[in-house]
Structure 1
């Protein structure tokens, strides 16, 4: 991790950036010259401004914990390749530092911006021997709806988080949005960052299974990490580092995660990461399941009205289902790269088997 008071540890960060491989280059390009969201602010700037301060609980016990590293967030190519079937095996190996990143996408209508943040772990793991499953790769996250009120960054009205195969909805204090077909599950809190001048929403993930909710519905118990949004990446110094900067990666960057959606080494199906049972996944536990993690366009809460992946690909639809919005919601997108694959996403929603996640 970068030393906050000196430059003596910069070589370590250089190794972390190198380990991020292709994605690190894409991040730099995206933040340096992002596509324009409006004349006033870019999509990358919007994503950075609203990116959450993220609490990650860490469990260092058990043979699959990697002394806590199994709970670090990173990129899908932290090991220098885009092979989803070796991520469990290579997590924690020398030369593969788990540098902190989060993926994002921004969709636009005339009334709102919708920003999805996706946190990736190489392992979904457990230290319980009975009735607990593990799987390679783990992807959960949050959708923020930002009202375009004429200010530079708009105003955040709601959040919907992904915890395994369930969604949870939140509104900040003072939001004009209220419950719709789904009840609001809690209040979205804000916190100041030591690395910029903004109040950021606060999210949290549990250890092992990495379900994500608004803080403090999950909280740090014992060891844990606090990740802060930034334009640089840091690798935690240990499993109890309370100031780790994470870098944002545009899902829609050239050659990025969405562009890799048909790469069979990374994805077993549209929106489903490829994962196998190698490297000891499942040993000493109930089982290790395969192909059991989703990218945002595969997230699904099966008993809710929005279809598989629509939290990312049609967030205005999800917002209209989950909330009552007095000012109304435009449903036509002025920017939505998912739209070009609408037919394939619909077919995947119809045919894709449920995953563990």
Structure 2
């Protein structure tokens, strides 16, 4: 599938400050954490490695809602778990676009696999030709962290989701190299002003929200820089360069995984429900239905791993995408997805592709 860009915009690109660039470059080298003194919780692990996230924002056109359509949010930002009213309720009074992202942690004896989902209520466009819109948008990244005996391990590789394509990256100093798929670039690390760690840096385009490692996508004009935290902040505008986002465990009681059979939220296995209500598609090419995915629905149809295996079988995906000199275990010591693995694989085999 083509990699969408934000056409139809006339905005002036503004460079990052010299100080910001210097901080990014200085933090780009991979640094192993100090030796472990106590076991780290999965929530702490997810927070430590959660990306610093650059979100490009387009404020043009009525469907942008002045930029709010590019804000990341909770799936239930409007107070309910009905996926078919999210387009309509984006930006309405009584709803919240406070910044959140979802995560899951899967473990083997050799690695931690951290999956992050960034959700937008709208996938939108501001021009009438050849592009579709749809309700709900879910894209994200898988991080592979080697368990080397230190508190948080060492980051070795990443695979991002940009619509129906996956892109792979390694940080500077990683021992992982290209496998069946060629590594697409270097995963930068950057210091956060809100904690003492360097974090991987990801970025999403405006409108369609494809996700890659920064700066393969970056901010062009207006944009938001999201920082991982335990606090969820709402951007002050579409050009806010310091917004904290909170993490939500996909496997939490009543969370996304627990809701996977909720037909108000999901139209099928790992596919968010979305309809054509409101002005979705008005003035554009069309509005498609049921066109966004949760992590267990992500798929790159041109690659060997099956639909959803980026999240549910990340060790398999890692050995396909990368060459891992020290090897890795394929036996999971913690994988809540695995209880439904057979159903996931069978449904993925028979389900029609969902194109984001």
In the superposition, the TM-score normalised over structure 1's length comes to 0.89
Instruction: Give the match for residue 260 of structure 1.
Output: 259
Residue aligning to 2:94: 95
Structure 2 counterparts to residues 1-357 of structure 1, below 5 A: 40-357=39-356
Does the residue aligned with 1:249 lie in a helix, a strand or coil? Answer: strand
Between the aligned partners of 1:323 and 1:46, the Cα distance in structure 2 is 23
Q: How many residues align?
A: 320
Q: Distance in 2 between matches of 1:351 and 1:101?
A: 32
Per-residue CA distance 1:209-235 (angstroms, 9 max, x = gap): 000000000000000000000001000
For 2:308 and 2:349, the matched residues in 1 are separated by 11
User: Which runs of at least 4 in structure 1 moved beyond 6 Å after TM superposition?
Assistant: none
CA distance in 2, matches of 1:239, 1:169: 29
SS in 2 for 1:341: helix
- 2:268, 2:180 → 1: CA distance? 30
Query: Given that residues 123 and 208 in structure 2 are in contact (C-alpha distance below 8 angstroms), is that contact kept between their aligned partners in structure 1?
Result: yes
Cα distance in 2 for partners of 1:49, 1:39 equals 15
Kept after mapping to 1: 8 A contact 2:55/2:219: yes
The one-character-per-residue Cα deviations of 1:157-213 (angstroms, maximum 9, x if unpaired) are: 000000000000000000000000000000000100000000000000000000000
Distance, in Å, in 2 between the alignment partners of 1:131 and 1:356 is: 15
Contact 2:107–2:332 (8 Å) recurs in 1: yes
- SS in structure 1 opposite 2:73? coil
**Are the equivalent residues in 1 in contact too, given 2:176–2:325 (CA < 8 A)?**
yes
Q: Secondary structure at the match of 2:88?
A: helix
The whole-number CA distance in structure 1 between the counterparts of 2:196 and 2:38 is: 22
Partner of 1:22: none
TM (norm. structure 2) is 0.89
Secondary structure in 2 matching 1:86:
helix
The equivalent of 1:24 in structure 2 is none
Distance in 2 (CA, whole Å) between partners of 1:162 and 1:191 is 21
Q: Secondary structure at the match of 1:279?
A: coil
Q: 2:38, 2:151 within 8 Å by CA — same for their partners in 1?
A: no
Distance 1:63 1:232 in 2: 30
Give the CA RMSD over aligned residues.
0.8
Alpha-carbon deviation of 1:97? 2.1
Q: Unaligned regions of 5+ residues in structure 1, if any?
A: 1-37
Single out whichever of 347-356 and 166-175 deviates more from structure 2. 347-356
